[in-house]
Structure 1
Amino acid sequence: MKRCFLYVLICMLLFSFHFVSMAEDPLVEADALFEKGDIASILESIPLYIKAVKANPNSYEGNWKCARAHREYANLNLEQELEGWKDVCKKYGKDGMRYGKKAKELEPEKIEGHYYYGLCVASYSDGVSILKALKEGLKGSTQKAFYKAYEIDKMFEDGGPMLAIARFWHQLPFPLRNKRRAQKYFEEHHEYFPDDPQGLVYFAELLIDRRKKDEARPLLEKAVAGDEPYYSKWAKELLEKL
Structure 2
Amino acid sequence: MRLKLLALWVLAALPAQAAEPALLTQLDALFDKRNDAESVKALETGLRDALKAAPEDFDLVWRKARILQWQADGATSEKLKKVLGKQTWEEGDKAAKLQPSRVEGHYYAACGIGSYSQAVGIMKALGDGLEGKFNERLDTALKLDPGYDFGGPWLVKGRYFYELPWPKRDLKKSVSYYEKAIAKYPQSLRAYYYLAETLLKDGKAKEASAAIEKVKQGSTAYSLAEAQRVQQWAKKVDADIQEELK
Structure-2-length-normalised TM-score:
0.75
State the match for 1:212 in structure 2.
204
- Distance between the aligned counterparts of 1:188 and 1:109, measured in 2? 23
- Distance between the aligned counterparts of 2:206 and 2:49, measured in 1? 51
Give the root-mean-square deviation of aligned CA atoms.
2.7
Assess if the C-alpha contact under 8 Å between 1:224 and 1:235 holds in 2: no
- Distance between the aligned counterparts of 2:32 and 2:209, measured in 1? 35
State the match for 1:230 in structure 2.
232
1:192 corresponds to 2:190: no
Displacement, 1:194? 3.5
Assess if the C-alpha contact under 8 Å between 1:154 and 1:161 holds in 2: yes
Assess if the C-alpha contact under 8 Å between 1:171 and 1:177 holds in 2: yes
Structure 1 residues 134 and 127: alpha-carbon distance in aligned structure 2, compared to 1, 3 A threshold = same
State the match for 1:143 in structure 2.
135
Amino acid across the alignment from 2:135: Q
Structure 1 residues 122 and 230: alpha-carbon distance in aligned structure 2, compared to 1, 3 A threshold = farther
* Structure 2 residue matching 1:123: 3-state secondary structure: helix
Amino acid across the alignment from 1:122: G
State the match for 1:37 in structure 2.
34
State the match for 1:125 in structure 2.
117
1:61 corresponds to 2:67: no
Assess if the C-alpha contact under 8 Å between 2:88 and 2:111 holds in 1: no
Displacement, 1:152? 1.3
- Distance between the aligned counterparts of 2:85 and 2:191, measured in 1? 21
Assess if the C-alpha contact under 8 Å between 2:209 and 2:238 holds in 1: no
- Distance between the aligned counterparts of 1:113 and 1:173, measured in 2? 27
Assess if the C-alpha contact under 8 Å between 2:125 and 2:131 holds in 1: yes
Assess if the C-alpha contact under 8 Å between 1:49 and 1:66 holds in 2: yes
* Structure 1 residue matching 2:114: 3-state secondary structure: helix
Among the aligned pairs, what percent are the same residue? 30
State the match for 1:105 in structure 2.
97
Question: 203-212 or 221-230: which moved more?
Answer: 221-230
- Distance between the aligned counterparts of 2:120 and 2:83, measured in 1? 10
In structure 2, stretches of 5+ residues that fail to align are 1-18, 221-227
Amino acid across the alignment from 1:165: K
1:179 corresponds to 2:171: yes
Structure 1 residues 133 and 54: alpha-carbon distance in aligned structure 2, compared to 1, 3 A threshold = farther
Amino acid across the alignment from 2:35: D
In structure 1, stretches of 5+ residues that fail to align are 1-20, 79-84
Structure 1 stretches of 4+ with a deviation exceeding 4 A read: 25-32
State the match for 1:239 in structure 2.
241
Structure 1 residues 62 and 174: alpha-carbon distance in aligned structure 2, compared to 1, 3 A threshold = same
- Distance between the aligned counterparts of 1:32 and 1:183, measured in 2? 32
Assess if the C-alpha contact under 8 Å between 1:26 and 1:51 holds in 2: no
Say which structure, 1 or 2, has more relative contact order (CA 8 Å, 6+ apart). Answer: 2
Displacement, 1:74? 2.3
Question: 43-52 or 224-233: which moved more?
Answer: 43-52
Displacement, 1:164? 1.1
Aligned residues between the structures: 214
Assess if the C-alpha contact under 8 Å between 1:66 and 1:99 holds in 2: yes
Instruction: Deviation per CA, 1:151-199: give whole Å up to 9, x if none.
Output: 1112211111111111111111223322232122122223223343221
